[in-house]
Structure 1
């Protein structure tokens, strides 16, 4: 679904002084788009996601999903955190269903469908302690999708995984995106990941976080990281990212 973001200012008070976190962030995200967001540490990427999720409403501006202003968390915004946050006393299928009743035929059907989509068939009765990190994140993805959110927000969901597992889950996520056509916004520190997944990329500068550059990712899916087109686009993004670090240094030095 369409997401419109108009943030004039997001700030907080630290040691008696006002600290600006985000400043003049204006974004329009089309229905079904996969937007990736990168930027230096401290630029407010995760804060922006929490604002879209309705978890943080203390800011000057407005965020709309399909012309509805976001003022609180809701089922239209799914959120996947850096840690899977599964309930250790529940099985895979129970974690996906969460507070819904698995005996309900419609819930059961949806859970079974999602288990297939995230490639966990055969592990329905397993507990989190029996799962790898990648499997646990797949459960978290399925749980977020169960209520069919209009927008799926992902806060560095693969950051703690090894390279092989990360690549596998990136492909799982792309499969879900193509099948469900859910609007997705993913925050990452990984430039390769941002280019591999997104069809548009937002680069933020830091302190306060501002929108530095929007980069269209005009590469067909599935993508190959070794092609010249991919590497050329990756270099373009890296060059723009390095400019944000230069800006941060210049502002910090009073230049």
Structure 2
């Protein structure tokens, strides 16, 4: 049996605030296989982004285990790509230079890789464009290409399409699936959108709040390309929605003191 690429064991995370200690994550355990596409959803404040930042090495103050391959995650590195909610491009650099980042396009290998990524994210013809000349979806594609430049073992995406309009968001979901299928990069994608979670994932990790822990993991066996209008898609969407309703019921019970 192949070892998981990512291993999370008994992960616990607390924050110290002015009102005391906040328990953000509690006993989270998760295995992710190489090449999987995992979506993570849950109510606001359940620790989705916190979990992603721990995997990225952006937060190392936690209890438990977090390993990528055979290595403990001790900090950020080129083996982990991270996509934020905003593209965070350099406004004074062109598309190709934003993708190359700190590497020189004078290097033939770098130029070839950047050209390959521009084609992969469907931006051919915009190599010399600046961020101000791009739409929101195009800018986010530049950010994805930049994160893939060094061939990370895992690509982590924190609600990257949340600020886009519905049409652009739907298009970007299709673009991302195309990138994943061609590039075979393991992806972990945080979202609030149930349709998005079902459309993208091999497995959906549903977190419950206070503190964040795994409610359930829903496998997604739908073939690609997926259509949101099909009965099989809607059945799976209903299953995930039902888990959210159970979480809401438990919260009502907790708040009422029953």
TM-score computed with the length of structure 2 as normaliser = 0.96
Runs (4 or more) in structure 1 with deviation over 3 Å come to 252-255
Query: 2:61 maps to which residue?
Result: 58
Partner of 1:197: 200
Task: Give 1:247 deviation, angstroms.
Answer: 2.2
Q: What is residue 237 of structure 1 aligned with on the other side?
A: 240
Q: Which runs of 5+ in 1 are unaligned?
A: none
Q: For 2:240, what is the secondary structure of its paired residue? A: helix
Deviates more, 1:10-19 or 1:54-63: 10-19
Structure 1 residue aligned with 2:130: 127
User: 1:37 aligns to what SS in structure 2?
Assistant: strand
Query: Structure 2: which 5+ residue stretches go unaligned?
Result: none
Q: 1:11-30, aligned counterparts within 5 Å? A: 11-15=14-18, 17-30=20-33
| Inter-partner Cα distance in structure 1 for 2:247 and 2:82 | 27
Give the structure 2 partner of residue 225 of structure 1.
Answer: 228
1:248 aligns with 2:251: yes
**Aligned partners of 2:257, 2:63: CA distance in 1, in Å?**
26
| Partner residue in 1 for 2:91 | 88
- Give the Cα separation in 2 of the matches to 1:53 and 1:8: 14
Aligned residue number for residue 181 of structure 2:
178
- Report deviation, 1:16: 5.2
For residues 112 and 241 of structure 1, the distance between their equivalents in structure 2, rounded to whole angstroms, comes to 42
Aligned alpha-carbon RMSD (Å): 1.0
Between the aligned partners of 1:254 and 1:110, the Cα distance in structure 2 is 58
Corresponding residue SS for 1:11: strand
Contact 1:40 1:245 in 2 (8 A): no
Which among 102, 107, 110 is matched to residue 107 of structure 1?
110
Tell me the residue number matched to 1:151.
Answer: 154
